[in-house]
Structure 1
Amino acid sequence: MRAPYLRSFSLILAVALLSACGGKDDKAAADATAASSALPVSLAPAQQQTMARTVLVSGPVTAYEEMQLGVEISGQRVTALLVDVGQWVKQGQVLLQVDHRTLDSELAQADASLRQAQASQELARMNYERSAKLAAQQLISESSLDELRASRINAEAQTSTARAARDAAKLRRDFADLRAPADGLISKRLVQPGQVVSAGTELLRLIRDGRLEWRAELPENQLADVTVGNTVELPYAGQVVSGRIRAVTPGVDGQTRTGTIYADLPAPGPLRQGIYVDGRIVTGDGPVLTIPTAAIVQRDGHNYVFTVNEKQQATRHRVSTGQAVQGRTAILEGLKAGDQVVVDGAGFLGEGDRVRVVAATKAAAR
């Protein structure tokens, strides 16, 4: 009985040993398969770096001062329109004329009345001077001299009244000519020749000195970083236009919690009034946390980076980014110095994917 028992035990032991060896081989094969399927990636650390601090914002290009021009008389017809949109004008240049025939007649009458008053004043003056000599010789009475003195004063007053009337008529005549109040560029025309206009109606617009500025609305946390004198860079039409912050609102709007900045622009320049451009406000240099720009993945309108955990799995982190300079991007939120982020292969990763860390050149080659 002993021999059969030993043979059965040996057979069972052999089967168990074979099964154990087969299990180890299967596990090793599975591990090898998982390693071969893991995506090769390279890592780079988040590092502190001195970089120009900037604020990115969009805003319109507007006129620094745009004048709305019109005439000061009503019911007159436009007889001459001497400028058009886009034309540069000089201060005092006649831009538009309305019918001034009635005004010319009134001015001529006022001039005649003034000359008549001046003649009466001169006669009264001479009469008084002659009478004053006679009164000194006691050839006329003092009362007669007083009457002549009063006549002279009355004539002077009449002359002053006539002169004021003439000046008023001349002023009304001048109102018939719309003149440029300053050097500038005609930006809009709202009138046609032959049109009957009213006082105060806008007829033309003038950009004073052709001067433009860029305006932008900033939230209160960014507004605090911007000061007068900061440089603004505006990319447009393949070039970068540089401006300078002229003014910053001292407070913020109670509803929107934003404030406005005003930047002077060079003139002449490629920018035109009304266009909307992105601006980069340089607020100074300072240390910022940066990572390679290639490590940033944009998905669903947000920026993400990937790190690798101890299980060699990819972990996704949402980050807030700043400016990018020479292949590195500033990280405002979401990482700390020393964090290792995936660079090569980041665009192919998802949360929890298995990865295999290799050198940067090998990951890129893959």
Structure 2
Amino acid sequence: MRARSRRWPVPLLLAACLSLSACAGDEDADPAAAKSASALTVSLAPAQWRPLARSVLVSGPVSAFEEMQLGVELSGQRVTALDVDVGQSVRKGQVLLTLDHRTLDSELAQAEASLRQAQASLSLAQVSYERGAKLAAQQLISAGNLDELRATRVQAEAQTATARAGRDAARLRRDFAELRAPADGVISKRLVQPGQVVAAGSELLRLIRDGRLEWRAELPEDQLALVAVGNTVELPHGGRTIAGRIRAVSPGVDAQTRTGTVYADLPDPGPLKQGVYVEGRIVTGAGRALMVPSAAVVQRDGHSYVFTMKDAQSVQRQRVRTGQTAQGLVEIVEGLKDGERVVAAGAGFLGDGDRVHVVAAEKPTP
């Protein structure tokens, strides 16, 4: 028997032909169009020299310009009155606290009585000597008697001086029973309570002299060399910027940390309080810097990079060293030349050698 030949239906043959034609059409498509579809759209910006206020950013604490530790010079006395509290402003000579002074009052009264007794003895000795001098001039008494009267007067003078010194010492001890403010200022700390028995030399109160605050910051040696006395300091805090001025710069750096300290006066500290840690900008002068948009700089592997055009359709990664940041721009210290164009938008999505499609940068909306 003869084998029967197998025939395909006409519709299936037409579908197969169309499919083969489509595959052949895809293979013949333009490869450049496919690559263009996968390229990232970016915009470029040139590196340009721009005016820049030179400054140093550093953080530091707000401290008292001079904080005085106050105590008493008597031991074993009880505090009978405490007249101030933390945050209170005081004037020079104002009584801050009082110790029990009843014993001291008694000692002072006794010393004053001893002085009056010595003064009376001196007066008698002085009158006796003057009378003896007149009698000796008339040769009514001997020279030896006159010498005894003179010695008695000198002895009375010495006793009076001793009594006066004792009175002054007793008065001074009585004054020590009152702790007075050595200067105008603000009480910043209280370490004593009424009724407490205190010891001489122990800290009882702290006083910020004149209520004056300052800002201190530690700078590395390379930045310390840029700061000079008189430079302006800007401290943003509490919704406002506190202005200060550098009053002192440490003449050397610490051998261990390689840092030095700067001190800035704060004439109007505003909301700043002692102990607040705040970042400040020290304006060191005006200058010019090569700047690019902040979005053009990417951080990878601990370094800063920008992307420049390798050719018309691809980019290359270029390492740079950055400086200050101001108004959406970054200073390029090293790695770029003036006028060199970098990827300004889309740099964070790029890798070295990626293909890109460059478009014009959008103009900012006024």
Shift of 1:323: 3.2
Partner residue, 2:273:
272
Partner residue, 2:66:
65
CA deviations on 1:188-218 (whole Å, 9 max, x unpaired) are 0111111111111111100000111111111
Identify which range, 338-347 or 328-337, moves more after superposition: 328-337
**TM-score under structure 1 length normalisation:** 0.87
Name the CA distance, whole Å, in 1 between partners of 2:67 and 2:28. Answer: 80
Partner residue, 1:106:
107
Partner residue, 1:225:
226
Partner residue, 1:256:
257
Structure 2 segments unaligned to the other structure (5+ residues): 1-22
Name the CA distance, whole Å, in 2 between partners of 1:180 and 1:319. Answer: 58
SS at structure 2 position matched to 1:360: coil
Quickly say closer, same or farther: Cα 1:190–1:307, change in 2 above 3 A: same
Name the CA distance, whole Å, in 1 between partners of 2:321 and 2:46. Answer: 17
Partner residue, 2:11:
none
The answer to whether the 8 Å contact 1:44/1:291 transfers is: yes
Runs of at least 4 residues of structure 1 off by over 6 A? 22-25
CA deviations on 1:26-50 (whole Å, 9 max, x unpaired) are 5762211211221111111112222
Is 1:322–2:323 an aligned residue pair? Answer: yes
Name the CA distance, whole Å, in 2 between partners of 1:63 and 1:284. Answer: 27
Residue 307 of structure 1 aligns to which amino acid in structure 2? T
Name the CA distance, whole Å, in 2 between partners of 1:126 and 1:278. Answer: 79
CA deviations on 1:204-233 (whole Å, 9 max, x unpaired) are 100000111111111111111111111111
Partner residue, 1:283:
284
Quickly say closer, same or farther: Cα 1:127–1:44, change in 2 above 3 A: same
**TM-score under structure 2 length normalisation:** 0.87
Identify which range, 136-145 or 161-170, moves more after superposition: 136-145
Name the CA distance, whole Å, in 1 between partners of 2:320 and 2:104. Answer: 72
Partner residue, 2:347:
346
Quickly say closer, same or farther: Cα 1:340–1:29, change in 2 above 3 A: same
The answer to whether the 8 Å contact 1:211/1:267 transfers is: no
Aligned 1:112-191 pairs, distance under 5 A: 112-191=113-192
The answer to whether the 8 Å contact 1:210/1:267 transfers is: no
Structure 1 segments unaligned to the other structure (5+ residues): 1-21
Residue 191 of structure 1 aligns to which amino acid in structure 2? V
Partner residue, 1:310:
311
The answer to whether the 8 Å contact 2:309/2:315 transfers is: yes
Residue 93 of structure 2 aligns to which amino acid in structure 1? G
Partner residue, 2:50:
49
Shift of 1:348: 3.2
Name the CA distance, whole Å, in 2 between partners of 1:141 and 1:265. Answer: 80
The answer to whether the 8 Å contact 1:42/1:357 transfers is: yes
Is 1:31–2:40 an aligned residue pair? Answer: no
- Structure number with the higher helix fraction is 1
CA deviations on 1:305-329 (whole Å, 9 max, x unpaired) are 3223226334344544333333322
SS at structure 2 position matched to 1:109: helix
Shift of 1:139: 2.1
Residue 146 of structure 2 aligns to which amino acid in structure 1? L
